[in-house]
Amino acid sequence: MRGTGGDERAGPAAVTGPFRAGWAETDLRLPAVPGAAWAARRRSAVSERFPGERVVVPSGGLKVRSNDFDYAFRPHSAFVHLTAEQGTSAVPDSVLVFEPEGRGHSVTMFTRPRSPRGGGPNEAEFYGDRRHGEFWVGRRRTLSETSDALGIEVRARDELEQALGRNVPTRVLRGEDAHVDALVPPVPGADAELVSFLSELRLVKDDWEVAELGAAVGCTVAGFHDVVGELDHATRLARGERWIEGTFNRRARLGGNGLGFETIAAAGAHACVLHWMRNDGPVRDGDLLLLDAGVEADSFYTGDVTRTLPVSGHFTDVQRRVYDLVFAAQSAGIAALRPGARYGDFHDAAMRVIAEGLDAWGLAPHGRTASTSPSELYRRYTLCGSGHMLGLDCHDCAGARGERYADGVLAAGHVLTVEPGLYFQPDDLTVPEALRGIGVRIEDDFVITDDGAVCLSSGLPRGADEVEAWMASLR
Ligand code: GLY
Ligand code: MN
Ligand code: MN
């Protein structure tokens, strides 16, 4: 059923006539959002950093997929971080405003009020707006229900323009809400500083965030279990990769809000394509399946885990040789995780092991000079870095400045992936034929603690023997 051309079908016909009478009130009894108190602390940090200035953080809105259908709404991660807004409750076009007041700020969320039946000012939206109307997309909270759930003052989005009218120095998280961008003249330096501040505020996760990441990773692990149980069936299908993808995605929707990123289900040589998301190939007995996937929890925190599995249940000798080298590299990377270590240490440790291993195999890529680092020398086979911060975004904190992230040091509360890989392209003439078309990545998620690191994804086996035993137990 489609509502076309402004929803003529549902609108006028429904608003007039007996349709309007005989409906009960539908007050929602909402529990407080569990992360709300933590989000309040983060808002205090924003307030302290920008005294006397207005700060505007939009959630973003719906994005058109095609014609009159949108993608599922996913609020901007900075907005989520500062509100603890959850999954399906999030309302498009919401905007968080920090208004300078006294020595701090008053913080208000501007959002869409409910559009109930019953003749109020928003009844037309109820029937007539297929993107936001309750008749079409379901009940959303009233303003006071939102305020109670999130512990924030809430006003109608219609009042935003007036609220931004007072002449105060204003920083905006730009590119998310065209109306807000148009209302406030850009101040490029100040706006860019806001981006990096909001990103850096997310670097150290608090206890609630670590727990949410643990839950997201736990559900991700369950998705990998599901996939192993479906491997035999996948080998019987022309597009077995799609069956793998669908199996994981079902778990993500069941246990969380959805996916943290599009599932990578890469069998055979597809594993050599870092972001193979077409997933339209077969899954053949004897090949490896590289599955890189993450469940996004209802709180929007995501897991990001990769296992490379022998479809038959047993690695061939050459597959195991590659796997064992990646495993050793990942183990060296993991051993380098501790507070105070340089962020780059775990990557360097993993690359040293890869370089020694490939040297021992006699693989000597062109271009070696005395000063070439292992990670540059073997980039042809390793392709990318060995990890990244993880949180509300899979590649979290991307706006942080170098000195706080890539060139900085690890600290307790950082959550990151360690995911070295080796990828021998099927057409790479620099490697022996037996290696061509083999791609292996092993990826786990870690939280840095006061004295080391804890693996959040330890529910999955890592070593080749353990992987084989685990697969045998599930099939
Ligand atoms: N899944 C994307 C990544 O591992 O970075
Ligand atoms: Mn990753
Ligand atoms: Mn990944």
| Residue 6: per-residue pLDDT | 47
- The residue type of 2 is R
Is residue 444 lining ligand 1, measured as CB closer than 6 Å? Answer: no
Q: What is the pLDDT of residue 120?
A: 77
Q: Are 450 and 339 in contact (CB under 8 A)?
A: yes
Backbone angles phi, psi at 259, to 5 degrees: -100, 145
DSSP line for 362-413 = T---TT--TT--HHHHTHHHH-S-S--B-SSSSSTTTTS-GGGTTTSB--TT
Q: 170-172 and 54-60: which strand pairing?
A: parallel
Distance CA 165, CA 170 (A): 11
Nearest ligand atom owner, CA of 306: 3
- Model confidence over 135-174: pLDDT tens digits? 999 999 999 999 999 999 999 999 999 999 989 999 999 9
Q: Which two tokens stand for residue 323?
A: 């796997």
Q: Contact at 8 Å (CB) between 217 and 296?
A: no
Tell me the best of 419, 444, 446 to mutate to test the pocket of ligand 1, counting ligand atoms within 8 Å of each CB and taking the most.
Answer: 419
3-state secondary structure of 177: coil
Instruction: State the distance from the centre of ligand 3 to the C-alpha of 443, rounded, in angstroms.
Output: 6
pLDDT reported for residue 263 = 98
What pLDDT score does 366 carry?
A: 55
pLDDT score of 5: 45
Q: What is the 3-state secondary structure (H, E, C) of 442-456?
A: CEEEEEECCCCEEEC
The fold of 5-200 is Creatine Amidinohydrolase; Chain A, domain 1 (3.40.350)
Residue 66 has a CB neighbour count (10 Å cut-off) of 7
133 CA to centre of ligand 3 in angstroms: 37
Selection from 384, 456, 400 nearest residue 77 by Cα = 400
Query: Over its length of 475 residues, how does the chain's per-residue pLDDT go in tens digits?
Result: 444 444 445 555 556 567 777 888 777 777 788 899 999 999 999 999 999 999 999 999 999 999 999 999 999 999 999 999 999 999 999 999 999 999 999 999 999 999 888 777 778 888 889 999 999 999 999 999 999 999 999 999 999 999 999 899 999 999 999 999 999 999 999 999 999 999 999 999 999 999 999 999 999 999 999 999 999 999 999 999 999 999 999 999 999 999 999 999 999 999 999 999 999 999 999 999 999 999 999 999 999 999 999 999 999 999 999 999 999 999 999 999 999 999 999 999 999 999 999 999 998 665 566 666 766 778 899 999 999 999 999 999 999 999 999 999 999 999 999 999 999 999 999 999 999 999 999 999 999 999 999 999 999 999 999 999 999 999 8
User: Which residues, 6 or more positions from 218, have their beta carbon under 8 angstroms from its beta carbon?
Assistant: 303, 459
245, 394, 442, best to mutate for ligand 1 pocket (most atoms within 8 Å of CB): 394
pLDDT number for residue 14: 57
Query: Is 207-474 the same fold as 5-200?
Result: no
Which among 448, 416, 392, 439 has a CA at the least distance from the CA of 305?
416
- Ligand 1 centroid to Cα of residue 62, in Å, is 25
Residues in the chain: 475
Domain-by-domain residue ranges, the chain? 5-200, 207-474
Token reading at 329:
């590299």
Name which residue sits closest to atom 4 of ligand 1, judged by CA: 304
Choose among 38, 34, 104, 39: nearest CA to 78. Answer: 39
Indicate which ligand has the atom closest to the C-alpha of 277: 1
**Partners of 258 in the β-ladder:** 296
What is the third-level CATH fold of 207-474?
Answer: Creatine Amidinohydrolase (3.90.230)
- Confidence at residue 123, expressed as pLDDT on a 0 to 100 scale: 82
Q: Which residues pair with 302 in a beta bridge?
A: 296
* 157: nearest Cα among 96, 107, 116: 96
Cβ within 8 Å of residue 445, ≥6 positions away: 213, 217, 303, 304, 305, 390, 415, 416, 417, 455, 456, 457
252 neighbors 295 (Cβ within 8 angstroms) = yes
The two beta strands, 104-111 and 153-156, are parallel
SS3 152: coil
Distance between CA atoms of residues 63 and 93, nearest Å: 11
With a 6 Å cutoff on the Cβ, whether 445 touches ligand 1 is no
Give Cβ neighbours of residue 118 (< 8 Å, ≥ 6 apart): 20, 23
C-alpha–C-alpha distance, residues 186 and 464, integer Å:
54
* Pocket perturbation via mutation, ligand 1, pick of 292, 295, 308, 384 by most ligand atoms within 8 A of CB: 292
Distances (CA, A) of 434 to 318, 326, 424, 441: 7, 17, 10, 18
Is any ligand 1 atom within 6 A of the Cβ of residue 304? Answer: yes
CB atoms within 10 A of CB 427: 9
Written as six digits, the tokens of 157 are 């989005």
